[in-house]
Structures are given as C-alpha cells and as structure tokens.
A and B are shown apart, each in its own frame.
Chain A
Amino acid sequence: MHNQDQKLIFELSTPGRIGYSLPEMDVPETELNGLLPEGYLREEEPNLPEVSELDIMRHYTALSKRNHGLDSGFYPLGSCTMKYNPKINENVARLNGFAHIHPLQDESSVQGALELMYDLQQHLKEITGMDEVTLQPAAGAHGEWTGLMLIRAYHEANGDMERTKVIIPDSAHGTNPASATVAGFETITVKSNDKGLVDLEDLRRVVGEDTAALMLTNPNTLGLFEEHIVEIAEIVHAAGGKVYYDGANLNAVLSKARPGDMGFDVVHLNLHKTFTGPHGGGGPGSGPVGVKADLIPFLPKPLVTKQGEQYVLDYDRPQSIGRVKPFYGNFGINVRAYTYIRSMGPDGLKAVTEYAVLNANYMMRRLADYYDLPFDRHCKHEFVLSGRRQKKLGVRTLDIAKRLLDFGYHPPTIYFPLNVEECIMIEPTETESKETLDSFIEAMIQIAKEAEENPEIVQEAPHTTVVGRLDETTAARKPILRYQA
C-alpha cells in the first residue's frame, strides 16, 4: 500500500467497534442451533468492517471528495444529458408515502402511488405522442429490450415468424445491438451517409420480409436530426417492419417533434436523462416504454389503469409479453421524473429543448475554429468534434479529455460514436449558464493551443487529480475484484 492511498473501509476496521443500533430484542430467545437445520447455521463470520458511526461518515465523505458529480462542476458528457438534478425531487421521493410503501399492499392502500404512476403515464403519452406507456423497465437498455420483445410478440401474433432481423445504424449506442440480441434477433447495420444521417439507399437495400424493426435515435448520436425521418419510417413500414425510437436524445426535441408523429411505433425514454432522475453514479435509472395502439396488447403486466375513480393494476392482459421486472418499475425514479415534469409544465419543457439546442450550437460554433467539425450544420442538443488535427501533433482525444480534468471539468464522451475519428461528443444541456460554457470553451481553446506549443502537458495529463492515469491493462489481465486481507 502506498502511503498516500485512500484507505479501504476494511483497513479502518477495529474489532470491538460497532456502527449500528438494532431494535430491542423483546421476545424470549431460543438457542440458534435449534432454529435452523443442522449444518445451516453460519460458522464463519463474514469479514465486514467494524467501525463507529463517525468512522463511516468520515470514510464516505472522503470518498465523495474523490468523486466528480454534476453538483461539483460542468459535466458535458455527450448522450448522457447531465443536467441539474433538482433538489425538490429528492425531498418528494423521500416522503414516507412514496419511499416507505410496499409493492404488494392492497391497491386500496396505495391509491396515491398508483395515481402518480397513472398521471406520469398520461404525461409521457402526450410528450411522446404514443398511445400507451408502461413504467416497468428499469433503465434505458431494459426499455430497449422490452420494446423489442413487444415487437417480436406483435409479429408472432400476426403469424409473421420470419421477421428475425433488427436494423441498426452504425452510429447507434452499443446497447441497441446488444438488446436486439438478448431479445432473440439478429442485427443488420445500416450505414450513415457523408452527412452523418441514415443512408436511405442502404436502408432500402437491407429492409425486407425478414425485417422486424429499425432502431433509431433521433437526433442521432452525432446530434443531427434525421431529416428524412418520414421516408425512413415509410420504407420500414412498407416492408412490414416497426420503427423503434431510442429516447436517449429526447432532450433535443421536447415540444418540437414527437416520436409518435415522426412515425415511430415504440419508444423508450431515459427518465434519468431528460427528466432529471439523478444518474446516481450509474443508476438506478428508469426506462418507460411507449407504444402505438397496435402494440398495446403486448405491454408488460401489470399496467396501471383507471376504473371509475379507482386506480388499479391491470393483470388481465392475455397477450402480454409478461413481466420484465418484479413489481412496477423504479418507482422512486418515476416520482422524481414526475416532480420534474410538473415543475416545468408545457412552457418549461419547450424552453428546456430550445436552450439545450441553443447552448450546443453556440459551443459548436465557438470551437469550430480550433477542432475539426465533421458535420457543419445546426446540431441539436449535442455535437461532435474530431480531434484528428490534434492527433497529427501527437495529442490524442484521450489526452484532451484527461487534460480537461485539470480544469475541473468532466470530459465529454470520447471515441463515440464509432463513425467519427478521434470523436469528442459534447452535450452542455440547458441548465448551464453562458459563463460556464464560455469558461469551458476557453479551456478547450487553451488545450488546442497546448497541443501545438507544449503537447507534453496534454499527453501527460491529468496533473491535479488524486490519482494519475491508471493501469487498465494490468487491471484486466490480473483482475483484483475484491479486497483480501
């Protein structure tokens, strides 16, 4: 152990210390041996830490200081929509009537929760232009898989057993092809053209009687709106396929264009992106799925519906694909998203998209002189730059990202999408001020200059973080995945 290392909680442990206070033991106790079958009473104690409450708080406070969150500073991570996480959301989600209710209580005792879910479904239907919404999927990728299972069930119900292929653009998120595989489909890639959009000729070539669906993010992962979306949907529909909307980039089109109006049949949303459920360091998220009328019968069960004045969980859905998750989804995240939508209202959500897009275009224009701009047109909520100019100077996009850490920023998404060389993908979101954008732009300009004048400082970055670049190769070759004393 290095003398500057942050200690593991196990290294802080001292026998005899405790950090808990259990309820009183007020029933007569029996010998434990008699309460379990022979051989089933645990003999070895699990090696959990023995620390006081203050030890715990200091430990995790120290860890938190070694972590950059959105509240710590700008976080322009493309495709992740790192916008402000409103604090009222946290308070609402912690109300006893939301945080401390059991999923299997009688429906009559959870009418408030069901009403919130129902109303959230109604709001999401209007926002997406779809006919029904399920809140069951736990995250974006889970929503993708759910949506594809719905499409599979739809084709199978029509006796269309040969529709085994899902078409996915080369710029798509990795979850798209993975979700298609897990849903039992084969994937076909459709190429992007030189404008960064779906190549219609290539799409016409790959669609056919085996097409189950096309998965599309719009705007796509380059931040560009698929201008030919109407034709794209027509081509797929004419071949008998369904069109799937990956809602990762919905922040770009609120009140501007609805997936349902663009011709999409199924959509998943990332409530932890567009609708401010916090990202939590990698979840929990929430990935509701919306569908057009012809897919409603296949939605997971139960579905929250309203019968008269009562909200009910409808299990009577004979064509349902079944359950995709125990209970009813990540309710706590759905509460936060609902709170956000109600804080914004229709005018607010429209402004969200307008300012997100304005911010992205402003940054793109200001950086275009210093970095290559592969697609020179208005972007939506995010844009990509290419670091190929800097690469010729020996400075890679990875180096630029690491150098940004020295300025106190979380770097943009890098090396994605895969169809742009040395890709840098920036998404500012609407909650950042012009001053923040300007400071970041200045840092990016300075790094571009450093790449020309003093490349070592970029290549050797970061210089100010608690650890330097870490040896990922050894981590993968000789994995150490747990502490051992």
Chain B
Amino acid sequence: MKHRYLPMTEQDQKDMLETIGVSSIDDLFSDIPEKVKFKGQYNIKPAKSETGLMKELFKLAKRNADLKENVSFLGAGVYDHYIPVIVDHVLSRSEFYTAYTPYQPEISQGELQAIFEFQTMICELTGMEVANSSMYDGGTALAEAAMLSAGHTKRKTIVVSSAVHPEYRDVLKTYAKGQYLDVVEVPVNNGITDVEALKKLVKRDVAAVILQYPNFFGRIEPLKELEEVIHEHKALFVVSSNPLSLGVLTPPGKFGADIVVGDAQPLGIPTAFGGPHCGYFAVTSKLMRKVPGRLVGQTTDEAGRRGFVLTLQAREQHIRRDKATSNICSNQALNALAAAVAMTALGKKGIREIAAANLQKAHYAKNAFKQAGFEVVYDGHSFNEFVIKLNRPVKEINQKLLHKGIIGGYDLGRDYPDLVHHMLIAVTEQRTKEEIDTLVRELGDMHA
C-alpha cells in the first residue's frame, strides 16, 4: 500500500517484522478473537487522488450559498463580522495548529502565552477577574455556568430568561437533566426579561439566574435592575454576552455579574455552519477555583525567566476523575487563538469602533424599515439585531430573498409561537448602506 501519508516501505516492513520476531503483520493481531475479527474491506468510497478529491469537494462546497457571494442579514448568535486577514495567517502557523494541549510547558510556551493573553483580553472585555482558556461554544459554556452555580450554592434550580438563545437553553436543559437540576424560564416583556416575573421566581432555592446581553432579540437587558433581584437571594448572576458588543456596552462585570460566558465567534472566527466556534468563561476571583476547563498561569523557571503553565489542575477531570464537576478536556484552543489575534488587531480603539459601527448600521436599518412602513417590534434600544413583523411566513420570504443573493433574517416563529411571521434581522459593520437599502426595498416589494 503506497500513500503519501504512509512512509512504510517493503524493506522497512521486512526489517521491522524481523526485529519483532514475527513473520507477518497479521501475527500482531492474533490477540483479536476470531469471532469479532473484521474480515474483508470497509464498504466505503474508494480513495481519491488529491486533485480528484479537491475537485469533488470544491463542487460540494459550491452547492452551499455562502456569505461571501451572498449578503447576509442572519445572526441569531452567529455573525458575519470583519475577520482581519492576518488571523488566518497566524492560525496557519503549524506550530500552533498541529500541537497537542500544552502539557510540556518548556516546548509549549508559544501556545501558553497566547492563551494567557486571550484570558487577559476576555477579562478586559467582560470586566471580570478570571477567564479560562476557552470552552466548546457559548451554549455549553452557559450550561457549565449553571452546573458551577448549582455546585457552588448547593441549590438545584436554574432560572433562565426566555430571551436567552433558544439553542443555548436547549443545551442547558440537557445538561440540567444530567445533574438533576430544574430549569425555569422567565417570560419576556417587550423583548426584555420581565423583572416582575423574575422577582416572583427568585427564591432561596435558585442557584443562578441566566440572562443574555444583548439578548436574543438584540435588546439591552437592564442588568443593573436585574442584579438587585438576583443577588437579594444570593443566587449567582450569570450573563451570556456577545464579546464584540462589549466594545461599546458597559461590561457585565460592572453590574456585578458572577459569571460571564458567551461565544467568541464574532471575534475572528468564521461562521463554519455553526462550529467550531469558541466558548469563553469568565468569573469573579471568588469563583476562580471552580472554573471548568483549563487555566494558564504565569510563573518563573529556575533562572527567574517568566514562563507559563497549565495551572490549578486539581479542578480538572484527569486529577479528580469522578469527583470532577466538569468533564471538559479538549477545548477550542485554536479558535481562542483566532479570537486573541482578532482582539489584538482591533485593539483598544478598534473594538469600540467595530461595536459602534454595528450599533450605527443596525440603527440606520431599523429606521429605514420604519420609514418603509414596517412594524419594528419591541421598539427601543438594541445592539445589532432587531425584530420586524411580516405578513407571511419568514421561510417563504427567505427563499425569495435567496434568489436575489440575500440571506434573510431568522424566523422567530421556530422558537416563539407568538412570534410567527417575525424576522430577527442582524446588521453588522459588514453591511453597506446599499445592501441595507436593497433589503428594505426587496422586503417592501414582497410585503406589498
């Protein structure tokens, strides 16, 4: 068998078998019982040449309507943002992408330092004291925040706003089942979490209250007001946040959040059909030793040189085994690196500028819809998303838009029965005035 990934020659094989003292490779598999031995060949597609496979997969990729050839107004937790070109050049350094978890710090200083910088940047954006090295995604990070809260408070109820991403809530419910936790949802009033309803729900058995900021409808939750309700009964205050928005929004840490989680996808990570993205997890220093996943810490070597190591590992699964409160092992290191490079490129000024551009362009679009006679539901402050009401199924409209090269907004009727025919529209800094005007015009034509 000759293959470009397999360097074994016939001579190598002969020499190695001789050293081992067996006559054939089959002898090395004599410990597999006859009864379960797989005989014959996998019934899978035959191998393809590099060129042949590339052609085939190029065609397959072309069967998808991508965000480069089409204009997207779809967000709902995953956004088409500016990715500085340099991000992929850094990611393509194979010293990073072909490395394992940095278990040997002496030869992993590059990765460890990059993650230490990532942790710092997440702390800066969220206003928190400690951030870990990443989680799978925003949804599982949120679920882990619930588990941390339950473990920390020894309480069993998790209260979550129904303005939190529906898929994140679904993931939370699956994890909660594993841990025998109850999940209670708080209703929404005019697109934001209903404070009066929350007051009734937060009692002494509540481990955490989870909010999203900006929320699923793009609206700005009144964190200041909600914090008082949540902390009154010593529940933990958990905020799921789009980190890019924090370039312009007061960070959750300023409002007394205990845990801030979210997905760093808006920072340098392609949409990639929903993954891999990059969860982040930030806490107050009080909760430092309860954080799931890996933490990189600074230290020194014998010569006094600064270096970085994986630290506080006593929290983790490979040490605690069945006493561990999280089983996370691999995380999303390479995407954390992407986010770090993007945050570095944007820097102190750019993060503000990009977040402000989202606000401005979405605000322009919202007004354009109003002027065109659309009903903008939940009118009020929002970040880069807002809701409009249509007179027919969103799916039908989106299929028509696609013919015009436009990927329309999210169909809220999928998750909220009272929001049938409602579209969640995302307008990022990537959209031009012309693209926004075209969307308003096309929807207007269909709506007429």
A49-B348, A326-B167 are contacts. A341–B124 as well, Cβ < 8 Å?
no
CA distance A210 to B254 in the complex (A): 48
A342 within 8 A of B: yes
B425 within 8 A of A: no
Contacts of A440 in B (CB 8 A): none
List the one stretch of A107-115, A386-394, A451-459 in contact with chain B. Answer: A107-115
Contact of B106 among A69, A123, A402 (CB under 8 A): A402
B33 within 8 A of A: yes
CA distance A82 to B104 in the complex (A): 15
Nearest-CB residue, chain B, relative to A98: B61
B117 within 8 A of A: yes
Asked if residues A102 and B74 are in contact (CB atoms below 8 Å), the reply is yes
Contact of A281 among B5, B9, B96, B306 (CB under 8 A): B96
A297 within 8 A of B: no
CA distance A109 to B167 in the complex (A): 21
Cβ distance B195 to chain A, nearest Cβ, rounded Å: 14
Asked if residues B100 and A279 are in contact (CB atoms below 8 Å), the reply is yes
Asked if residues A430 and B6 are in contact (CB atoms below 8 Å), the reply is yes
Interface 1/0 per residue, B47-64 and A, CB below 8 Å: 110100110111111111
Contact of B78 among A103, A434, A462 (CB under 8 A): A103
B301 within 8 A of A: yes
Asked if residues B133 and A35 are in contact (CB atoms below 8 Å), the reply is no
A22 within 8 A of B: yes
Contact of B3 among A59, A109, A344 (CB under 8 A): A344
Interface 1/0 per residue, A11-34 and B, CB below 8 Å: 001000111111111111110100
A20-B84, A103-B274, A229-B36 are contacts. A342–B48 as well, Cβ < 8 Å?
yes
Asked if residues B276 and A22 are in contact (CB atoms below 8 Å), the reply is no
Asked if residues A112 and B60 are in contact (CB atoms below 8 Å), the reply is yes
Asked if residues B311 and A475 are in contact (CB atoms below 8 Å), the reply is yes
> What is the total number of residues of chain A having a CB less than 8 Å from a CB of chain B?
206
Q: Is the interface of A mostly helix, strand, loop or mixed?
A: loop
A101-B67, A178-B322 are contacts. A45–B78 as well, Cβ < 8 Å?
no
A39-B224, A281-B99, A284-B334 are contacts. A63–B113 as well, Cβ < 8 Å?
yes
Asked if residues B432 and A26 are in contact (CB atoms below 8 Å), the reply is yes
Asked if residues A281 and B74 are in contact (CB atoms below 8 Å), the reply is no
B266 within 8 A of A: no
Contact of A99 among B137, B270, B317, B360 (CB under 8 A): B270
Contact of B275 among A72, A95, A331, A482 (CB under 8 A): A331
Cβ distance B277 to chain A, nearest Cβ, rounded Å: 8
Nearest-CB residue, chain B, relative to A36: B381
Contact of B38 among A60, A94, A258, A327 (CB under 8 A): A258
Chain B residues 286-342 with CB under 8 Å of chain A are: 288, 294-309, 311-314, 316-335, 337, 341
A206 within 8 A of B: no
Interface 1/0 per residue, B169-181 and A, CB below 8 Å: 0110111011110
A22-B429, A88-B50, A104-B410 are contacts. A56–B177 as well, Cβ < 8 Å?
no
Chain A residues 420-453 with CB under 8 Å of chain B are: 430-434
A225-B31, A481-B288 are contacts. A282–B63 as well, Cβ < 8 Å?
no
Given contacts A72-B95, A142-B136, 8 further A-B contacts (CB under 8 A): A2-B300, A41-B248, A57-B89, A68-B107, A358-B20, A467-B307, A469-B106, A483-B120
13 A-B pairs within 8 Å (CB atoms) are namely A18-B349, A22-B353, A22-B357, A37-B220, A82-B100, A86-B5, A97-B64, A255-B38, A300-B174, A343-B53, A344-B5, A431-B5, A482-B119
